[in-house]
Amino acid sequence: MKFTVIPVTAFEQNCTLVSCDETKRAAVVDPGGDIDRILQEAEEQGVTLEKILITHAHIDHAGAAGELSRRLGIPIEGPHKEDQFWIDDLAQQAKMFGFPPAETFEPARWLNQGDRVQVGNQELEVRHCPGHTPGHVVFFNPNDKVAIVGDVLFSGSIGRTDFPKGDHATLLRSIREQLWSMGDDVEFISGHGPVSTIGHERATNPFLN
């Protein structure tokens, strides 16, 4: 699979274009905004967007998902059902943070621990990682050893837990049980900031040691 990070919104959120080399079919993970930039990247790569994947429903990750789904006629998969209240609150989140108006949406499929999502001929494993939000999921490709972890883990930091229904102890448990088990050589794309590896964060992240 090919993974292309596309920073979007004033929050510099790492939207990711995930594509299957064989079929040229693709998914966009966390389209928080800047739809034209996302579509331009897909066009330049010659891939066809077939679905939208959401790690969690904060505005900078999901703000443009509803509009993009409507414009392209493609389904949204994720996050976990526990983030329904964040989806329902997208319009208010947009006002609060000065984002363009955001459409609410109903995912074609809520995602749970152990689910798999298809992108072309490739699959991503789903792991439920609550703590930052209760319905946060991450996407893992064990063949390429790449994970998209949203706002669970960052290079040198971890996700905030001071939002409604956030929980610090739950987040730490999610990291240790769901991310560490992927393997130290796995590279991960966070919702913000640079790429890192599981092993590097396990050894050096000051919030986890």
pLDDT per position as a tens digit, 158-193: 999 999 999 999 999 999 999 999 999 999 999 999
For the chain, which residues make up each domain, given as ranges? 2-204
Q: Are 136 and 148 in contact (CB under 8 A)?
A: no
pLDDT of residue 209: 84
Q: Which helix (H) or strand (E) holds 139?
A: strand 137-141
- Asked whether the bond before 79 is cis by omega within 30 degrees of 0, the reply is yes
Structural contact between residues 3 and 16, judged by C-beta atoms closer than 8 angstroms? yes
Q: Which two tokens stand for residue 152?
A: 């669970």
From 161, 136, 151, select the one nearest 188 (Cα to Cα). 151
CATH of domain 2-204: 3.60.15.10
Question: 158 - beta bridge partners?
Answer: 153
pLDDT digits 0-9 by tens, 43-71: 999 999 999 999 999 999 999 999 999 99
What is the model's pTM? 0.98
54: amino acid identity, one letter = I
Cβ atoms of 158 and 204 closer than 8 Å: no
- The mean pLDDT of 137-151, rounded to a whole number, is 98
Across 67-162, the runs of DSSP E, i.e. the strands, are 76-77, 116-119, 122-128, 137-141, 146-150, 153-154, 157-158
